[in-house]
Amino acid sequence: MNKTELTQLISKNFDYYQTGHVADYIPALAKVDPKQLGMAIYDLQENHLIEAGDANVRFAIESMSKVPVLLLAIKDNGIDHVFQKINTEPTGFAFNSIMNMEINHRKHPMNPFVNAGAIATTSLINGKNAAEKFDRILAFMKEICDDPAITLNEEIYQSESRTGDINRSLAYYMKGNQMIEGDVPAILDTYFKQCSVNVTAVGIAKLAAVLANKGIVPWNGQRIVSEKSATIVKSIMTIAGLYDESGEFSVHVGVPAKSGVGGGLLAAVPNRYGMGVFSPALDSFGNSAAGIQLLTDVIQELDADIFE
C-alpha cells in the first residue's frame, strides 16, 4: 500500500465520524473536533512508514497507554509476577465494571486492559513516588513510540482526575481486598497522567511495529522488550483490546488491536505491520467509529487477517 491508496481509503471512510460521538464524559475530550481521520502504517518487510490524513495530530492516548505500561510493568517485575496479580481472561462486563471481581470472587482483576487491571498494572511500575513512576512511563512511551515530543496534556489530566470517581472506587476496592499494594491516590495520579499524554497516529504505529516485530525496534534493530512479553500483549489485545467489541473485531478483522477513548487505535500484525489510527468520534462500544471502518478496509486490502 502506498500513500495515495491510504489517502483514498481515508476519504472513503471519513464520513463514518458522523455515526459516533466524542467522549464527552471527560470534559476536555468533549472539545475535540470529531471531523478528523488519519492513519500511519509501519511496514516491517520494507522498513518503511507511510502516513496520511490527520496522522500527525496530537491526541490523548487514553486506554492505549495500557499497552506500553503493561510492557514496562513486565520489564520491571517479570512476566510471572505481573500475571500472578492480574489475570488474562476476557470479561463480559464493561471496561470500568467492578462486577467481574465481585461475582467471581477473584483476588485479581480479569485482564490488564479493563480499568481495574490497568490500575493494578500501574501500581507495579517501579519508582519511589508517583512522580518518578510517571516519569519512567513517559520516558518509555517516548522511546517505544520514537517520539520525544510526547508530553502530558495538563488539561486532559485535570479533567480525568476530576471525573475519575469510578476508577477511584475500583482502586479502593482492590486495595481493600489486598489486590494491590501502595498508596491509592498516588497510583491513581500516575494512572490519570498516563492516560493523558499526547501522541500521534505515527507514534502509535511505531509502538505497534515494535510489538509486531517481537519486541525489536525496527528502525534501529535494538530489542526494547522481550519476545515473550510482546507475544503475551498481542494475545491479550486480541481477546480484550476493544472492550465489548473485541470478539466481533477478531472475527471480522482479525488482528491484535487496542483502542482508546481519545479516538486512537493501535494494531499489530505479527511480522508484517504496525498501525496507528486516529479519529475521535466513538461508536457505542467506545471505539473510534471511522477508525474501525478504516482499519477494517486496510487489513482487507493488505490481506493481513492473522486468522486467514
Residues annotated as catalytic are: 63, 66, 191, 243, 261
Q: Are 174 and 180 in contact (CB under 8 A)?
A: yes
Query: CB of 279 within 8 A of CB of 229?
Result: no
Instruction: Give how far Cα 198 sits from Cα of 5, 116, 208, 277, Å.
Output: 27, 23, 16, 14
d(CA 90, CA 111): 7
What DSSP element (H or E) covers 250?
Answer: helix 246-252
* C-alpha–C-alpha distance, residues 228 and 231, integer Å: 5
Is 294 within 8 Å of 9 (Cβ atoms)?
yes
DSSP at 15: G
* Radius of gyration (C-alpha) of the chain in whole angstroms: 18
Question: Element (H or E) spanning 7, and its range?
Answer: helix 3-13
Q: Is residue 268 a contact partner of residue 234, using CB atoms and an 8 Å limit?
A: yes
Longest distance between any two alpha carbons in the chain, whole Å: 54
| Contact (Cβ atoms closer than 8 angstroms) between residue 37 and residue 291 | yes
Q: How far is CA 128 from CA 35, 66, 85, 202, in A?
A: 42, 21, 20, 32
